Amino acid sequence: MFLKVAWLVMRKDLTVEVRSREIVYTTVFFAVACVLVFAFALVKEGRPLEDAAAGIMWISVAFAGTLALGRTFERERHSETLRALMLAPVSRPAIYVGKLLGIVLLLLIVEAVLVPLVGLLFHAPIWNRPLLLIALLVSGTVGFSAVGTLFAAMLVRARSRDVMLPILLYPITIPVIIAGVRGTAALFEPVPAVDLAQMWLALLAFFDVVFVTLSLWTFEPLMTE
Amino acid sequence: MKKGYPLFVLLAVVLFSVAPIMVARAPYEATMGLVQKIFYYHVPSAMVMFLSAFICGIASAVYLFKARPEADRIAAAAAELTVVFGLIVLVTGPLWARKAWGVWWQWDARLTSTLLMWMIFVAYLLVRRFGGPGAEKLGAAMAVFGMANVPFVYVSVNIWRTIHPTTRVVPTLSPGMRGPFWFCVIAFMLLFGLLLAVRARLEQRRADVEHLYLIAGEE
């Protein structure tokens, strides 16, 4: 039942998205624009600074993720569909998981465009350890989205939610950014530092477990009016 | 508690007026000399900041799960004090660092995690102030998540080289420094307790007034 509800919520979000493709298009374009903006700051004499590729990649993901989170819940605010979802006789954490899966999937699509682009533009060896890189990206995205989905959901009713989301989200997700950037930078070394990347991956996985649990736990009291 | 206020305020005034004399009489540190005296304000403020953040996190969790308004008032008061004492830490720290390390700021584990924690509580205050209706819950979630975040921040930034002295420094203090140090710690803790009680009471009074307005409106 729990998984079925989560699946239905996710499918609903994806169906809406597939029909308009609004969030995917705008978020991908925004992420690419971010990469360009950072390129002007971090490329010196035609060469990117050391570790710049990993940093640019993760910052773009974080910025684009904030945008996608804001838009997804803005959509739910129209005609009060989030309230309708909350009134449904299903467990609230299942709704949270459904929304989370939708966001994660969306961000993974964005990353599928972004990562090869960063590899291309900044000569980053993304094929060094592709599986480990994917694991870092997925666990980082889950951690970022776990906190983001909860905060975006509770900000739906708040004034000035567009400003509040990044203010709340960035300080909390700093460990994700640090672990993501350092882990990816370790993989982009000429000789990839695999054990270092694995250590960061373990930290990300631990972060995911703690914050998904905490979100599931607090979603119910937070969404009760 | 109400009757105790004047007594505690008096005690705090006495402690804070004696503290500079104690600090001035403490022995000079061999390498840093006079600058090291910042220590007597820097470290107690940091202790109070962490205690206050911890109180805010616990009170927020109680408020979130038990919906007790008193807990929210304590959380709000503690968050404000975390920001105030954090500011003292973040101002005295660079002053000391400039002399001890030659730079104002060092991206070291302790500094970075303190700054981040301070930012989480600034975000808490911002969301309470500008979040509109229901902002108390948003703030409470921020405090709970912020508290859960502290170990992650600490571990993740700890990979960088740490040059800040650890807390192990405290037991190794020379006897002449130990007295003034603990004196300052007690003074700061007392000040913190007083401010917390006063601030929570103010919040309580505000809620009472709002309640009275509601009743008057209904009649």
For an interface test with B, the pick among A139, A174, A207 (most B C-beta atoms closer than 10 Å) comes out as A174
Task: Give me Rg for the CA atoms of chain A.
Answer: 18
Strand partners, B216: none
Mean per-residue pLDDT, A82-89: 86
Phi, psi of A87 (to 5 degrees): -80, -15
Looking at the whole model, is its pTM more than 0.90?
no
All residues of chain A having their beta carbon less than 8 Å from the beta carbon of residue B123 are 167-168, 171
Element (H, E) at A124: none
A195 touching chain B per CB within 8 A? no
Average pLDDT over residues A51-73: 92
**How far lies A108's CA from each of A105, B7, B22, in Å?**
5, 61, 60
DSSP string covering A47-99: EEPTTHHHHHHHHHHHHHHHHHHHHHHHHHHGGGHHHHHHHSSS-HHHHHHHH
A70 pLDDT above the threshold of 60: yes
Question: Which residues of chain B does A225 touch, with a Cβ-Cβ cutoff of 8 Å?
Answer: 134
Which among A158, A159, A172 has CB closest to B145?
Answer: A172
pLDDT computed for residue A103 by the predictor: 94
Q: Do β-strands A43-44 and A47-48 pair in parallel, antiparallel, or remain unpaired? A: antiparallel
In the predicted model, is pLDDT for residue A115 greater than 90? yes
Asked if B152 and A158 come within 8 Å (Cβ–Cβ), the reply is: no
How close, in Å, is residue A21 to chain B by CA atoms? Answer: 30
Cα A197 from chain centre: 19
CA A86 to chain centroid, in Å, comes to 23
pLDDT at B161: 46
Q: What is the length of chain B?
A: 219
Would the CB atoms of A167 and B149 count as touching at under 8 Å? no
Q: A164 and B126 in contact by Cβ < 8 A?
A: yes
For the stretch A117-145, pLDDT in tens is: 998 888 888 888 899 999 999 999 999 99
Identify whether the C-beta of residue B82 lies closer than 8 Å to the C-beta of residue B52. yes
Residue-averaged pLDDT of chain B:
82
In this complex, is the C-beta atom of B123 within 8 Å of any C-beta atom belonging to chain A? yes
Write out chain A residues lying below 8 Å of B134, CB-based: 154, 157-158, 225
Please give the interface size between A and B, counted as residue pairs whose CB atoms are below 8 Å apart.
86
Q: pLDDT-derived band of residue A170, with 50, 70 and 90 as boundaries?
A: very high
Could you identify the residue written with the tokens 């954490």? A93
B95: which residues sit within 8 A by CB, 6+ positions away? B38
Check if the beta carbon of residue B135 is closer than 8 Å to that of residue B127.
yes
* pLDDT (mean) for A49-70: 91
Residue that the structure tokens 């997925």 belong to: A138
Residues of B in contact with A167 (CB under 8 A): 123, 126-127
CA nearest B131: which of A150, A69, A155? A155
Do B116 and A150 lie within an 8 Å CB cutoff?
no
Instruction: Show the low-confidence residues of chain B (pLDDT under 50).
Output: 161-162
**For residue A136, which amino acid is it?**
L
For residues B52 and B197, give the distance between their C-alpha atoms in angstroms, rounded to a whole number: 12
In the predicted structure, residue A198 carries a pLDDT above the cut 80: yes
Sequence ranges of the domains in chain A? 2-223
CA triplet B183, B188, B192: central angle to 5 degrees?
150
**Are A184 and A136 contacting, i.e. CB atoms less than 8 angstroms apart?**
yes
CB contact under 8 A, A221 and B65: yes
Bridge partner residues of B13 (DSSP): none
**Tens digits of residue pLDDT in A29-41:** 999 999 988 888 8
CA distance A152 to B49: 29
